[in-house]
Amino acid sequence: MNASVTLVVARQVLREAWRRRTLPVLAMFGCGLIISSAFLSFFQLGVEIKFFKDVALTVIFLFGTLATLVLVSSQLSGEIESRTIYNVLSKPVRRVELVLGKFGGSIAATGLAIAPMVAILVFFVHVDRGGAMLEAVKAGYFLWLSFVVLSAIALAIASFSSTVVCASLTVLVLVLSYLKGAVTTYIALVSNSGAAAAIGQAFYYLLPNFENFNVRTAVVHNTIVPWPYLFRTSLYAASLVAFFLYAGVQIFQEREF
């Protein structure tokens, strides 16, 4: 694999993402919502900054998720649907380099989109003395990690589907990942079948646990997020990304155009 080719593809994805202005508009809208929430002063002292941090992290999560879906869902499938994939693959670009370049450019673009929102959060935490700025930065990092994992899942799905199907299935995976605990418990309660219980357990372990990236409660209540937890979660994200990218590359290499 040629790393320079992968970087060229990633840079092209990053340039195209900002040229279409979808991400800048989403970032500006998210920043506007966070700044607006900072000036709501009808709460008691101490409650106000907690409300602001909660709203800011929720806005970053929602806009980051939307940016990831909009950007990544159309990367591979969009090239195929517009038939530009033939021009790309006619050049000395291997399919693995194309997938990894798309992934690298997408997570860089998403990171740049949420960076101003995280910066605003850190600024108001500092000004209002609402907790440690480092913990706010950690919360932004955890959210970005969840977007990285979601990007890898979306690319794996995009390797065999259209843009609309990819976006729909990625949303479904995300929702089921948050509900898998409740679904597994429900299956165990209503079914006496061992096979159903086994399917429920498989369902539980196969889907990513996005709650691992949720430190909003800890940051809102000024609880320190331990460094060992950050490192373990980073390794967990890396393993998920490696798995889904490997699956996506294998499927994309077998696909005929």
* pLDDT tens per residue across span 110-125: 999 999 999 999 998 8
Structure tokens at 161: 């589907």
**What local confidence, expressed as pLDDT, does residue 159 receive?**
86
Q: Which whole number is the average pLDDT over 187-201?
A: 70
Structure tokens at 85: 């994939």
What DSSP element (H or E) covers 20? none
pLDDT for residue 65 is more than 70 = yes
Give me the DSSP letters along 36-65. HHHT---SPTTHHHHHHHHHHHHHHHHHHH
Which residues make Cβ contacts (< 8 Å) with residue 209, sequence separation at least 6? 177, 180
- In the 8-state DSSP scheme, what is residue 159? T
**What local confidence, expressed as pLDDT, does residue 164 receive?**
87
**What local confidence, expressed as pLDDT, does residue 244 receive?**
93
**What local confidence, expressed as pLDDT, does residue 257 receive?**
66
pLDDT-based confidence at 43, cuts 50/70/90?
low
Q: Which whole number is the average pLDDT over 9-28?
A: 86
Contact predicate 163/81, CB 8 Å: yes
Give residue 79's identity as a one-letter amino acid code. E
**What local confidence, expressed as pLDDT, does residue 109 receive?**
92
Q: Which whole number is the average pLDDT over 194-222?
A: 79
Which residues make Cβ contacts (< 8 Å) with residue 135, sequence separation at least 6? 218, 219, 222, 223, 224, 225
The residue ranking higher by pLDDT, 1 or 108, is 108
**What local confidence, expressed as pLDDT, does residue 42 receive?**
56
**What local confidence, expressed as pLDDT, does residue 114 receive?**
92
Ranges 3-12, 178-187, 190-199, 236-245, most confident: 236-245
Which phi-psi region, left, alpha or beta, contains residue 215 (left: φ > 0; alpha: ψ -120 to 50)? alpha
Question: Tokens 């649907």 label which residue?
Answer: 81
Which residues make Cβ contacts (< 8 Å) with residue 43, sequence separation at least 6? 51
pLDDT per position as a tens digit, 210-239 = 888 888 888 888 888 899 999 999 999 999
Structure tokens at 190: 């209503």
**What local confidence, expressed as pLDDT, does residue 232 receive?**
94
Q: Which whole number is the average pLDDT over 151-167?
A: 89
**What local confidence, expressed as pLDDT, does residue 192 receive?**
67
**What local confidence, expressed as pLDDT, does residue 104 receive?**
93
pLDDT for residue 199 is more than 80 = no
Contact predicate 145/239, CB 8 Å: no
Contact predicate 146/210, CB 8 Å: yes
pLDDT per position as a tens digit, 127-142 = 877 678 888 899 999 9
**What local confidence, expressed as pLDDT, does residue 47 receive?**
63
In the structure, how many helices (H) and strands (E) does the chain have? 11, 0
Kindly give the interhelix angle for 133-158 and 47-72, rounded to the nearest 10 degrees: 20
Mean pLDDT over each residue of the chain, to the nearest integer: 85
pLDDT for residue 2 is more than 80 = no
b/e code 108-136 from CB counts within 10 Å (16+ = b): ebbbbbbeebbebbbebbeeeebbbeebb
Q: In whole angstroms, what is the distance from residue 118 CA to residue 58 CA?
A: 11
**What local confidence, expressed as pLDDT, does residue 151 receive?**
94
Least confident of 88-92, 121-125, 157-161: 88-92
